[in-house]
Structure 1
Amino acid sequence: MADFRTEVFQNEFLSDGATDVHAIVTVTSSGAGTAATSSGGIAELVIIDTSGSMSGPNMDAAKYAAQVAVDQIADGTWFAVIGGSHVANRAFPYPNAPVAIVQMEPGAREEAKRAISYMRPSGGTAMSTWLRLADAIFAEVPQVAQKHAILLTDGRNESEPRGELSSAISAVTGHFQCDARGVGSSWEVAELREIATALLGTVDLIRNPADIAADFKALVNESMSKGVADAELRVWAPQGAQVLFVRRVAPTVEDLTARRTEVNALTGAYPTGAWGDESRDYHVAVRVASKPVGSEQLAARVQIAVGGDVLASGLVKARWSDDSSLTARINPEVAHYTGQAELASVIQEGLAAKASGDEATATVKLGRAVQLAAETGNEEATSRLRRVVEIDDEEQGTVRLKRNTDKLDEMALDTASTKTTRVRR
């Protein structure tokens, strides 16, 4: 059984009349074991774009990467391979096989690698069919608690009606997790981000086809290391209080507010997906009724639950004071992650404005991004921003848009926008 613990970081002192309470809750898991030994086992799917645009180095590299991924899947794991174009096809088990998914063992591993070698590029791109087939395959093993997929594409979702992908994402949300990867510069970051966000995964750019294999290897190894199939963050707030938002803020920014499900009248649950031995930070904001100076109140109870059992809990408090030396303090963890969340937002907004030709808005947004990256010590974001803008003054956020920027640099900035730096403690 994994051991979870929580730590709460906040300034619990509120000024007279104040109502909003903010806290960073760090959740740490240890002794999670491995996915192969987790309750209910694990199922792993590899989804490869086989549309016509993948012809050449991309297809060769993707097939090799899929074979590498298969080599990393632990014996006993349920697995299958999907080839996706304007339709989705099961590459392994073979389409004429009596079963849609099998357990990994040496013979299945070699036959899957052989099946992958037969994959050929043709047709268009309709990712909704890929996700729906993945969902149908996962449904063949209802006893499996942990279900994970890797999806790779090099193009836009151009072979189906607008809205079909979003509909499919909505239909499969909560059924499995998915990490999405794009190779080259012809795919749409927003499309893969929509998939990864809904399915509690990550999105990233692979610049060079030769790097796909290393990325796939890392993703499968990480999946195999997660011994807790699913955990939920529960937030209790007192009668009359309002949970303003719940966000994961490290290692990436993800707003979970709209994913709330009711545990009871005062408690909501937010999905966090599978866990290995790791630590994540969550920003919880609650609005309570103001109380007289000198009053104290429990503003929230934040818990981590697995299989309905609460394994760790942390308390978020509120104390009203007329001492400005106490109420004016900005908790460093809250300040840091508030800046990191805004950083992700302004990068995406700035790049969208630049793409639409609105250079004035792009300059303002990306200038603010430079300022926030400097304030929060996110040197990686600053480095990526320098490829898109000329920085005149980091502190003031004064920048000039670069001309003729490499599209891959813009995509790298976009995909990495939600990656955060941990606060130094």
Structure 2
Amino acid sequence: MANFAKPSAPRFSVDVYQNEYLPEGGHEVNAVVTVTAAGGGTLGAAAPAPGRAAGRGPSAAVALMVDCSGSMDHPPAKMRNARDATAAAIDTLRDDVRFAVIGGTHAAREVYPGGGRLAVADGTTRAQAKQALHRLTAGGGTAIGTWLRLADRLLSTADVAIRHGVLLTDGRNEHESPQALRAALDDCAGRFTCDARGVGTDWEVKEVTAIASALLGTADIVADPAGLAADFTRMMEAAMGKEVADVALRVWTPVGTTIRFVKQVAPSVEELTTRRTEAGPRAGDYPTGSWGDESRDYHLCVEVPPAGLGREMLAARVSLVVPQPGGTAQDLGAQGLVRAVWTDDVAASTSMNPQVAHYTGQAELARVIQQGIDLRKAGDFDGATAKLGRAVQLAGASGNADTAKLLAKVVDVVDAATGTVRLKAEVAEADEMTLETRSTKTVRVKK
């Protein structure tokens, strides 16, 4: 493990967990890379940014996107709860954070401050923004891509370290094509992070989770609109805790090796393999988004050329960087090495590292839950029972109690150890949507 820090920069560290031993002819190397950020401060800046007092966190801009489509008026309390939740988020903003409120229907409009600009959070602008929220009414359709594009335009007007969006919807994206939403996500990726929330049960889980995934944020369901304010407060507190944006996992591999996949496996499963950006000879960057004081785990799988017994090689070198304009990058001073050693010791070469084994199971857990729900919706109840039974088995074996509780609302568990379950005849829509939305959340290896 390497752990270096610059003055006033977050301290990043990298730990690598693997079984480096391969049998003769072996060519697949797996490792779990734990990245930890601690200490806080402003990245690469000895002095605070203009207009920001020292010690108050990095400069930031936030766009709050509120669904104002006609369905938000059914029941009327939903719109009221959305206004209250947005007000709670505004109250959670630090002084001097730039912010805007966007009303989303089949088009996007600036609710506050207007004029294609951002407000600067203080007592006066918070009060003005909350007053403007009273003018939010429900009516119209849903075209989420337009909301995201307006958020991007507004956030891009601020020269800040952290750009973040919060998106709330209660319905399906029915007034633009899936291709239009995908194009908006592609254009916004890497420009700001975004947390997405679905309120009630009339929205599409795969749409909301795809938004959060593309923009490296979180996704969740708030089945009861009365819970929105508390959820928005927690979301904004987390956003205000971010200290450095645009961190990338840089993976270098030697000649002859191939990266099979890179995925985040904690606190949730997120596939990063296809998001690689080339970063020089045999190196690539994988985006991880914004960081506060936190720790995340990544699963790296590398294919190496087979070698003779007793040989060893560096299979990959992992470091952390913040890419800069012009193709340069700021090195965050943390590095980890992934090794391969060929041995005829059968016990050594067949032993699976506990971290790798755990997260392999967690990734499978997320996958079989999604498959089980899709099969249940398609009417293949035998297939759904088999997949969700396997999910119950994996959740129990890994100690993922939260997921086990969610599964128990969709299936009757006969024997968790063997994955023997029966589909419930009646399942509340909110329970199924909660399981689907949270299926990628994982638990870490027990120490």
Q: TM-score, normalised by structure 1?
A: 0.96
Quote the residue 2:48 is aligned against: none
- Which amino acid counterpart does residue 82 of structure 1 have in structure 2? I
> Which structure 2 residues correspond to residues 328-407 of structure 1 after superposition, within 5 A?
328-407=350-429
Cα distance in 1, alignment partners of residues 368 and 187 from structure 2: 30
Identify which of 395, 416, 419 aligns with 2:438.
416
- Which amino acid counterpart does residue 105 of structure 2 have in structure 1? S
Deviations 1:152-183 (A, max 9, x none): 11111112234221121112111110000011
Measured after TM superposition, the shift of residue 140 of structure 1 is: 1.7
Find out whether 1:303 has 2:311 as its counterpart: no
Name the SS of the counterpart of 2:406 in structure 1.
helix
Identify which of 150, 168, 171 aligns with 1:155.
171
- Which amino acid counterpart does residue 27 of structure 2 have in structure 1? T
Name the SS of the counterpart of 2:29 in structure 1.
strand
Cα distance in 2, alignment partners of residues 15 and 114 from structure 1: 68
Cα distance in 2, alignment partners of residues 105 and 364 from structure 1: 55
Quote the residue 2:245 is aligned against: 229
- Which amino acid counterpart does residue 419 of structure 1 have in structure 2? K
- Which amino acid counterpart does residue 28 of structure 2 have in structure 1? D
> Which structure 2 residues correspond to residues 14-413 of structure 1 after superposition, within 5 A?
14-33=22-41, 41-55=59-73, 56-94=76-114, 97=115, 99-141=116-158, 143-307=159-323, 308-310=329-331, 311-413=333-435
Measured after TM superposition, the shift of residue 336 of structure 1 is: 0.2
Cα distance in 1, alignment partners of residues 125 and 106 from structure 2: 27
Name the SS of the counterpart of 1:63 in structure 2.
helix
- Which amino acid counterpart does residue 195 of structure 1 have in structure 2? I
Cα distance in 2, alignment partners of residues 220 and 347 from structure 1: 29
Measured after TM superposition, the shift of residue 33 of structure 1 is: 3.2
Name the SS of the counterpart of 1:233 in structure 2.
strand
Contact kept in structure 1, 2:167 and 2:194, CA below 8 Å: yes
Cα distance in 1, alignment partners of residues 306 and 291 from structure 2: 37
Contact kept in structure 1, 2:81 and 2:225, CA below 8 Å: yes
Measured after TM superposition, the shift of residue 184 of structure 1 is: 0.8
Gaps of 5+ in 2: 1-8, 44-51, 324-328
Measured after TM superposition, the shift of residue 40 of structure 1 is: 7.0
Contact kept in structure 1, 2:265 and 2:298, CA below 8 Å: yes
Deviations 1:189-241 (A, max 9, x none): 00001100000011101021111011111111111111112211011111110
Name the SS of the counterpart of 1:264 in structure 2.
coil
Number of aligned residues: 421
CA RMSD of aligned residues (A): 1.5
Cα distance in 2, alignment partners of residues 34 and 358 from structure 1: 53
Measured after TM superposition, the shift of residue 34 of structure 1 is: 7.2
- Which amino acid counterpart does residue 298 of structure 2 have in structure 1? Y
Measured after TM superposition, the shift of residue 309 of structure 1 is: 2.5
Measured after TM superposition, the shift of residue 363 of structure 1 is: 1.2
Measured after TM superposition, the shift of residue 371 of structure 1 is: 1.3
Name the SS of the counterpart of 2:111 in structure 1.
strand
Measured after TM superposition, the shift of residue 31 of structure 1 is: 1.3
Report the CA distance shift for 1:69/1:254 in structure 2 as closer, same or farther (over 3 A): same
Contact kept in structure 2, 1:183 and 1:205, CA below 8 Å: yes
Cα distance in 1, alignment partners of residues 392 and 210 from structure 2: 25
Cα distance in 2, alignment partners of residues 15 and 67 from structure 1: 60
Deviations 1:118-162 (A, max 9, x none): 111101111111111111111222x22311011011111112234
Name the SS of the counterpart of 1:392 in structure 2.
strand
Cα distance in 2, alignment partners of residues 38 and 194 from structure 1: 32
Measured after TM superposition, the shift of residue 38 of structure 1 is: 8.6
Report the CA distance shift for 1:105/1:402 in structure 2 as closer, same or farther (over 3 A): same
Cα distance in 2, alignment partners of residues 416 and 216 from structure 1: 17
Measured after TM superposition, the shift of residue 316 of structure 1 is: 0.6
Contact kept in structure 2, 1:48 and 1:151, CA below 8 Å: yes
Report the CA distance shift for 1:66/1:34 in structure 2 as closer, same or farther (over 3 A): farther
Q: TM-score, normalised by structure 2?
A: 0.92
Quote the residue 2:4 is aligned against: none
Find out whether 1:4 has 2:12 as its counterpart: yes
Name the SS of the counterpart of 2:340 in structure 1.
strand
Quote the residue 2:6 is aligned against: none
Among all aligned residue pairs of Structure 1 and Structure 2, give the percentage whose two residues are the same amino acid: 48
Moved more, 177-186 or 38-47: 38-47
Measured after TM superposition, the shift of residue 268 of structure 1 is: 0.6
Cα distance in 2, alignment partners of residues 296 and 330 from structure 1: 18
Cα distance in 1, alignment partners of residues 246 and 365 from structure 2: 29
